[in-house]
Structure 1
């Protein structure tokens, strides 16, 4: 009951009970079967419908469902197949994802290109024969068409026998390797030649799963982009064969001293076998291991039908033999010199080039032989371990260069890089300066004590000979005379003379410079002596004649005819005077032990204080040669003088080098001052030691000579 007197009526859900208080229009909101999910949507109830209608049974609107038959359960085999299929599908998706991930770490495929092979520098001798290859590869790039057919087939046989049938990856080889490795048999790799090439071209050498995946991806790309022969050619030119050799050409040159196109079957088998372990199997280190691997290569080649049994038997009966006898180890010093100066002529380059040099291999071998044999036979006796030799033409063309006893043991070039005191070999620059100040070879100076501001040089014999002509003073390397000359003309003027002739090393402007106390290189000294030999013209030593492209022969550089010439550096008269005095050194003086029968020669020996360094400098009309001997550590020798072993090496080399040439007189030889040049014979003597009992010399012939002598004689 509400406050206004009306009765409260609570809402009733469901079918209403019969009640007289309810009219027939009451709304029936109960849920019928049709209202439930899946049933028909309930029709709106007519207001005229009586409550009794709800009691009527509902009319069926659909047929009763048929009972479902029970499903058949899969067999165990079927369930296993289904499970494996699902797992395989997921694995495939996983692998695809991993591959896609590592592929994304590579450069875009459409931008991928094979990197250029580092350029090779083929260094040739004057006659066109190969001295050596330089660059990162050690040999030029070769075409597969240049090679005997068994060379590439040897690599296919030992590294990838299904090379011509797979698509970059070899599933059969992979399965075989897995089985062999798991079963504990001989461990095998599964990389195809294409995969190995991909690794060499694009990837780092570490062994990781990610690298192998990238290797496979790149192998597929290579197979799509290149033919099989192109891939094999790239491989043969990029693979490493040990001993610094990249590519089959470099390997052939390194181990057999021949081009790859001349390899025999047995040699090709050895080289193909190196790929597995180039450092361990290199024939110069492990000849038995290399031959054992070559035997396997030949076996596989026979199995695949690449060679017949007769060929295999012949190769096994005649195994490859290491051959480097024709190669010149010492010529690598010359090759180093070429590489040092090459940039000055052609700058940077990105292609294989051929450098023609002035080196004469016959002379080069003669030089190396003279140095090696002399050091081996007598080095220990004189406690000397190293020597260097430079030989050029009077015009400056380098013919032979030896930078040490053995290039394999030491690549330090003592001829071009090393700088040592030249000793008395420096004296010709002092004497030339004196000639330019008006003296002549006949000028007489007193060989006596010298004391200049505390400096008191002595002769080798520590004795004095009285008045001496300059030609004889130089021949017997009298220190006192050289000291008096430099004091008179001035050290700075002597430096100017030496620099004018080609000495570039810093020189100290001190009187002791006359005795060769400033360090110079053997190359500098030899080029400076060339000015005496060629009539008075300065030269810059050169070794490069031409540079060409290896691909098409295009000329990249050619030495101009005037290249290296510095012009006249001394007058013809002064040059002739120096020839007169320096020839006297071979006739009766310290260079006499280096004389070559039939040839007019001139030069000067040199020995430094305490026998630390010994030199022999000299020339004929066609060759200028310098020799240095000493120890890298600066250790003193056992009384080694320039007239000893250096003169011996010089003579051995020059005798061989001049053997094919016709003797010619020296330029300027026969000069006679004032029409009177009576030679003065000092008796016997040798080395830097003056002979005893020298007779009085000819009287002074020029007033300026007399005044010069008087000034020097007064020096205490």
Structure 2
């Protein structure tokens, strides 16, 4: 900032040599410190002398009091020797007078003690000054801006630091705004503004509380960089001493830049550049006048005025800043009015969808491992937001419908692409209730899911799906494996044994090929958990995570051993060159061609006619494997499609038994619900989803009705899924209505508005449910996207998507659902 800016800040006067004045003030402070030390030592010696005098007795004091009592009144004669006695008393001066006046002595003592205490505090504060810049700024978690696989920003985390401003980056109106509202005499004082302190004290006294602070920008800068934030007199004294020192060593422009680069502006933004990027999506040098005024107004109360949470308060404060700039002559009244009339648009990332936090926790650790460098970073992840929303909705809907009856309290889901990219991750029922990620952190027994490694090993060693073994009672050492139904089928081919998950056959195979060979196969496919060399390992007695098991099955599909499961595509910092880019996969050994083909056929047999029949998807080849542990404590299904691999686990956090939930039950159903709609979304790219905030419906329009089948009018609301037209009751297709407050809200929304209903082409045969429109928008989609109802089990895909969006945004009834 040049002399012209200084002149504007001071109303046209040339700036004084404040650095010279500050150096003189700093030197005077050092002399003051030495003199205060001498004074304190003298005061200590005087106190010692008074103590010794008190120990000698109180005779002189009593004699003085007696003489005072004997003093004659008006008209009384004075003894001849009285004048001679008075002379030595007067000679003793002020101490004698104090001795004659004990009340005055006590008052003097009451005044002297606080002054001595204050002097002592000033001396100790000066002698214990910390070094300039010695405060360790807590960087906190560095800021992460998180993007989905298509570039959409969906989350931010950590503390934003931005770029350090230079004098060339500082817009004049930004400097003027800060100076006007925080320290209008910044260019006129030398660190401590006595006039400003008196003005603040007077206004606070009139206002009956703290309404204005007296700290200068220099004092605030040294507090941020050299002191702690405790509110004590000692810290304020040290703040003043350090402000004098800073002014003697730094220019005004350097102090202002240091302050702007350090101050907190709310919403995790430290420094003006971080605040500009956080709130307006631009660097500080590109700020407009109204934006600069809004940011300048935040530093006094950043947490309360952050525009992301209190835009109205931030706008009112910005208006105050503009008026103050007018008063200081920084801008004209016309410029202030023009700035107030401009629309300020925030460009902040949306609130993080709650369900994505499981994935974000994992990604934050990956970023630290892959690019552990200081500064804010942007992370392009592998997450597909549409599939993520779909996965959350499918899991929640299934648990809501069957969880209580089947005593299943939790579920997790992981979807991987063929190359290992994590497309969706559900770590539990509700992140806000529990941050424990059951997809990556929970280790549970895999049950029959582990048989993949047993059969792969057997196929590699010469067995085939046509090989026949006998299902019979088996004893291996002290272990006797049992089948789930406690029956034996006799001679069966391996393809049938795998499809029906016959335990005795898997135990015999593992014993034949050797448990160490089975462990080696699991390791080659990426299983890192501890795998004990015991016969029961063949039936999944080892504890593993859902992610590593899903990764292993994906390795079979992709023919890569091991296949890496990853969630980060790229990491970018402030420089043009990215900090990290996920490398192309290196050449890795795969399975023998025949072995892989036999394994894929066996997986498909499980779904076609085995324990995984509930996972069938019409028109799509699907393979997979079920897994169920003892007493139904864990239920698994990992399924393979041509495009992705999806793993599902269902169980309870306390390891309690479920009500006969097997891998072919809820897990297979969750897989089917997810895959049959996820494949369609992947085929057409990113699907447009409804937004509850904008009440935007899904892009599916109802089929035109046959002539005469249309029903229109202003309906009455029975519940959010049921309307009445002149006595005729209409059910909305795919909506399970809610009554109470939600129905009353819908009634207010529909008041005096025409609704047109026609038969829906997606309605099941014989269903009387209709598709209804209002102003061209699908009414059922509007209701579900706003959280006004639940979607029924037979709801079309667009209505299910609308419900999932409401769930993720916790709109309407989902706000109270926990």
Q: TM-score range by the shorter chain?
A: 0.5 to 0.7
Higher share of residues assigned helix: 2
- Measure the CA separation in 2 of the matches of 1:465 and 1:257: 70
Pairing 1:303–2:326 present: no
Pairing 1:639–2:663 present: no
Pairing 1:510–2:534 present: yes
Aligned to 2:199: 176
- Measure the CA separation in 1 of the matches of 2:542 and 2:289: 58
Does the 8 Å CA contact 2:470/2:492 hold for their aligned counterparts?
Answer: yes
Aligned to 2:14: none
Shift of 1:423: 1.5
Shift of 1:574: 0.7
Pairing 1:214–2:238 present: yes
Aligned to 1:551: 574
Shift of 1:614: 1.8
Aligned to 1:468: 492
Using a 3 Å threshold, how does the CA distance of structure 1 residues 615 and 273 change in structure 2: closer, same or farther? Answer: farther
Using a 3 Å threshold, how does the CA distance of structure 1 residues 539 and 270 change in structure 2: closer, same or farther? Answer: same
| 3-state secondary structure, aligned to 2:354 | coil
* Of 560, 580, 589, the match for 1:567: 589
Pairing 1:595–2:616 present: yes
- Cα-to-partner distance string for 1:413-458 (whole Å, 9 max, x where unaligned): 2222221111221111111122123221122333343344443333
Aligned to 1:339: 364
- Cα-to-partner distance string for 1:222-246 (whole Å, 9 max, x where unaligned): 667366598368547641636x665
* Of 494, 511, 516, the match for 1:492: 516
Does the 8 Å CA contact 2:160/2:376 hold for their aligned counterparts?
Answer: no
- Cα-to-partner distance string for 1:323-345 (whole Å, 9 max, x where unaligned): 97553333333333233344544
| 3-state secondary structure, aligned to 2:474 | coil
Does the 8 Å CA contact 1:483/1:514 hold for their aligned counterparts?
Answer: yes
Shift of 1:576: 0.5
Shift of 1:529: 0.9
Shift of 1:399: 2.8
RMSD of the TM alignment (CA)? 4.5
Q: How does 1:144-543 map to 2 (within 5 A)?
A: 169-183=192-206, 185-188=208-211, 189-219=213-243, 225=250, 231=256, 234-235=259-260, 238-239=263-264, 241=266, 246=270, 290=310, 293-294=313-314, 296-301=316-321, 303-304=323-324, 305=326, 327-346=352-371, 348-543=372-567
Shift of 1:207: 1.1
- Measure the CA separation in 2 of the matches of 1:175 and 1:412: 55
TM-score by length of 1: 0.65
* Of 619, 628, 632, the match for 2:640: 619
Does the 8 Å CA contact 2:135/2:224 hold for their aligned counterparts?
Answer: no
Using a 3 Å threshold, how does the CA distance of structure 1 residues 321 and 115 change in structure 2: closer, same or farther? Answer: closer
Shift of 1:522: 1.5
* Of 635, 648, 670, the match for 1:649: 670
Does the 8 Å CA contact 1:596/1:655 hold for their aligned counterparts?
Answer: yes
Does the 8 Å CA contact 2:144/2:157 hold for their aligned counterparts?
Answer: yes
Gaps of 5+ in 2: 1-113, 685-818
Task: Pick which of 375-384 and 625-634 moved more.
Answer: 375-384
Does the 8 Å CA contact 1:530/1:538 hold for their aligned counterparts?
Answer: no
Task: Pick which of 461-470 and 489-498 moved more.
Answer: 461-470
- Cα-to-partner distance string for 1:155-199 (whole Å, 9 max, x where unaligned): 777655666776654444422332244456132333345533432
- Cα-to-partner distance string for 1:56-89 (whole Å, 9 max, x where unaligned): xxxxxxxxxxxxxxxxxxxxxxxxxxxxxxxxxx
Does the 8 Å CA contact 1:240/1:275 hold for their aligned counterparts?
Answer: yes
* Higher RCO structure (Cα 8 Å, ≥6 apart): 1
Question: Which of the two has higher C-alpha Rg?
Answer: 1
- Measure the CA separation in 2 of the matches of 1:277 and 1:420: 48
Task: Pick which of 320-329 and 379-388 moved more.
Answer: 320-329
Does the 8 Å CA contact 1:122/1:139 hold for their aligned counterparts?
Answer: no
Number of residue equivalences: 558
Aligned to 1:713: none
Using a 3 Å threshold, how does the CA distance of structure 1 residues 126 and 197 change in structure 2: closer, same or farther? Answer: farther
Gaps of 5+ in 1: 1-90, 664-716
Shift of 1:209: 1.8
Using a 3 Å threshold, how does the CA distance of structure 1 residues 173 and 473 change in structure 2: closer, same or farther? Answer: farther
- Cα-to-partner distance string for 1:534-588 (whole Å, 9 max, x where unaligned): 135422223334444x23223444443235x6422x2111111000010112222
Does the 8 Å CA contact 2:154/2:349 hold for their aligned counterparts?
Answer: no
